[in-house]
Structure 1
Amino acid sequence: MAVLSVGVVLLVVFGVLGAAVPVPYVAQVPGPTFDTLGEVEGEPIISVEGRDRNEAEGELVLTTVGVSRAGLSLVEAVQGWFDSEVSVVPEETVYPPGRSEQETRDANRQAFLTSEEAAEAAALAQLGYPVKVAVRGLSDDSPAEGRLQEGDAIESVGGRPTPDLATLDAVLRSIPGGTTVPVAYTRLGQPGTATVTTRAADDREGSLLGVLVREQPTAPFDVDIAVEDVGGPSAGLMLTLGILDLVGDTDLTGGATVAGTGTIDANGRVGPIGGIQLKMIAAEEIGAELFLVPADNCADALAAPQPGLTLARVSDLDQAMTALEDFRAGRTPQTC
């Protein structure tokens, strides 16, 4: 009887400790999904200025992974290990050591914003728009404030063409700080000229316009992406396809629900992501018929197939477009 009592006490102690003592793991679960052709709280995820958006009947859905707070209890961790819709992973894989949860969220959000830029560049390149020097933003106290704005393509400075970043840099190096120069630009397809008094450069000869610039394909319209509370770069592929559906010449979905994931760079290369199996669960739950899988994630995707969900292997934007074309035509896309 005494032995039984001791055993019961120990079970109670271990149960209390298991429920209270945190372990260095977090739980990942299928996160919310977003139709890049649709809206969130009445606002379009992808808005277009300078031309009308195409009417879209299908869905191009980006998938996400939800993450618990740091420090699961032992009981929660064990429960997660036996749940097919939960992935229990070491805390450091989600929250790197030396970085707070808020700092991690901020870094993930910045990665998402960077993926937006890459998605727009990849989509416009796919549509054949020319690469130009475009304004990415203005610096503090910019002399171009009110004259140039984000998205402007800088065509020339002081009458000298600036087709790329190297040429723009060379032109500005030859202009003394404090010089007033005409800056020719194209904004939403319309030419314009701004008069800017340059600022002297601190670390080299010449002057500055006070703008942040990048080389990117430039179209006679502007694309804006608005998705709050999503972090990381894995939405890149689906955002790219959403842009192409809304401003291109092809209905990519044929009215179906297509989901997927994958990073993308400005050259259209698709990269791997985390949580592929959880994202597939989310896709199956919303009735997706096709799921676009980054090529390097194929092994993990095949390990946990979802009923009725066709997998298409993609390593770049061209392969994604081919997979969608095959799917619309009733053919089986290249699978994992």
Structure 2
Amino acid sequence: MNFWNRRNRTIVVGAVPVVAVFSLLGLPSIPGTNIDLTVPYAAEGSGPTFNTLGQVDGREVVDITGAKTHPTSGNLNMTTVSVRTNMTLAQAFKRWVTTDDTLVPLEHVFPSGKSSEEVQRQNAAAFASSESNATISAMNYLRKPLETMVLEVSEDSPAQGKIEVNDIVTKVDGEKVTLPSELSDKVKDNKAGDEVTITVKRQGKEKDIKVKLGELPKELRGDHPQGTAFLGVTTVAQPGGDIKVEYNLTDIGGPSAGLMFSLAVVDKLSPEELTGGKFVAGTGTIDASGKVGPIGGITHKIAAAKEAGAEVFLVPAKNCAEAVHEPPEGITLLKVDTLDDAIKDLKDYNEGKQADTCK
């Protein structure tokens, strides 16, 4: 690690006496109190990486049933960032000096006014959304039909006792629904107190259900105005018919696995291998249309992938400038803006053609 290229000399010189004083005095807390001298910073570094074509705890990371799958080889690794908090000044400085970790203000990890539990719930929801979007974008690429399934019914919501988990929502007031976003939009076209007819497929039979919409609770409102209609179901997109896609990674949060999940689905359902037997890693959010979005901690993720043995890394286009600032040797950084881009870049790379790289 080239320390002086990565750190600010002025800040280091100014910080050394402070850290030295606390270290020499051996003060773990404020004298006369039980208060630890922790700093309002978090350390971000390289986290674990998982092969989306492989297994975890004896289960396929991406498990597809109800359709013919094809053999895969190589790796399509998703990458993560590790986060350390509750550090003393000396611990933070040590990580800053002796590792490649980046120190960021604590509010970047735990936004002001939100508890760690709230952040964890948001990260879990974002991860679930990335799984849903990965499925949608892969099915769209493969030109396979989609449907909207009820994953959860909120307690004391208008839907409770009427709509059930595993119901397939097919229509709202007679208008066809394919994606969760379409269901959400059709509900919000109404007002709290309006009655709507939700058509669901349950155990193979269609059923019309009349539901009087409630008002979106304040804690879920976000940017929506007061009086926004509320049904009270959490839905996910899934392939139509018999195809089922299940993602079996736990204790991972955030939306940045979306691209690699989508590539794994495409690879397993396509006769041609995407990796060409190579160790490919990457990151990036993905939306239902297959658009790839930027993420945080790109340099840490590339470093983790290189350490694991990757020779190719898929970088969201908007992360390229940061990725090439100090790129590690021996790994090719492919620039991707969409799922189609990622598949084309991998094909070009495997065939020895000029692929679109971060410059």
Q: CA deviation at 1:56?
A: 1.3
In the alignment, residue 298 of structure 1 is paired with which amino acid?
C
Query: Of residues 140, 150, 171 in structure 2, which corresponds to 1:125?
Result: 140
2:212 maps to what in 1? 201
1:249 maps to what in 2? 271
When Rg is computed on C-alpha atoms for both structures, the one with the higher figure is 1
Distance 1:253 1:126 in 2: 17
2:220 maps to what in 1? none
Matched, 1:279 2:301: yes
1:16 maps to what in 2? 25
Distance 1:186 1:244 in 2: 28
Distance 2:23 2:110 in 1: 28
Q: CA deviation at 1:31?
A: 0.5
Distance 1:210 1:92 in 2: 31
1:102 maps to what in 2? 117
% of aligned pairs identical? 36
List per-residue Cα deviations over 1:66-106 (Å, max 9, x = no partner).
Answer: 11123x22222222222352112111111212222222222
2:48 maps to what in 1? 32
Distance 1:274 1:55 in 2: 32
CA contact (8 A) 1:58 1:256 kept: yes
2:313 maps to what in 1? 291
List per-residue Cα deviations over 1:236-269 (Å, max 9, x = no partner).
Answer: 1111111111123331001111000011111111
List per-residue Cα deviations over 1:85-138 (Å, max 9, x = no partner).
Answer: 211211111121222222222211111111111111111111112455x22335
In the alignment, residue 90 of structure 1 is paired with which amino acid?
P
Change (3 A) 1:122 1:18: farther
CA contact (8 A) 1:18 1:74 kept: no
CA contact (8 A) 2:283 2:315 kept: yes
Query: Of residues 131, 151, 173 in structure 2, which corresponds to 1:137?
Result: 151
In the alignment, residue 16 of structure 1 is paired with which amino acid?
L
2:15 maps to what in 1? none
Change (3 A) 1:78 1:210: closer
SS in 2 for 1:224: strand
In the alignment, residue 279 of structure 2 is paired with which amino acid?
T
TM-score using structure 1 length: 0.79
SS in 1 for 2:261: helix
1:328 maps to what in 2? 350
2:131 maps to what in 1? 116
SS in 1 for 2:42: strand
CA contact (8 A) 1:19 1:76 kept: no
List per-residue Cα deviations over 1:22-81 (Å, max 9, x = no partner).
Answer: 2111111211111111111111111112124322111100000111123x2222222222
Per mean C-alpha deviation after superposition, the further-off stretch among 213-222 and 58-67 is 213-222
Change (3 A) 1:229 1:215: closer
Query: Of residues 141, 147, 166 in structure 2, which corresponds to 1:149?
Result: 166
CA contact (8 A) 1:137 1:211 kept: yes
Query: Of residues 61, 67, 81 in structure 2, which corresponds to 1:65?
Result: 81
Aligned residues: 307
1:50 maps to what in 2? 66
Q: Is there any run of 5+ residues in structure 2 with no aligned partner, and where?
A: 1-18, 30-36, 216-229
Q: CA deviation at 1:155?
A: 7.0
Distance 1:156 1:97 in 2: 38
Change (3 A) 1:254 1:156: same
In the alignment, residue 150 of structure 2 is paired with which amino acid?
R
Q: CA deviation at 1:215?
A: 7.1
Distance 1:293 1:225 in 2: 22
TM-score using structure 2 length: 0.74
Query: Of residues 286, 297, 311 in structure 2, which corresponds to 1:264?
Result: 286
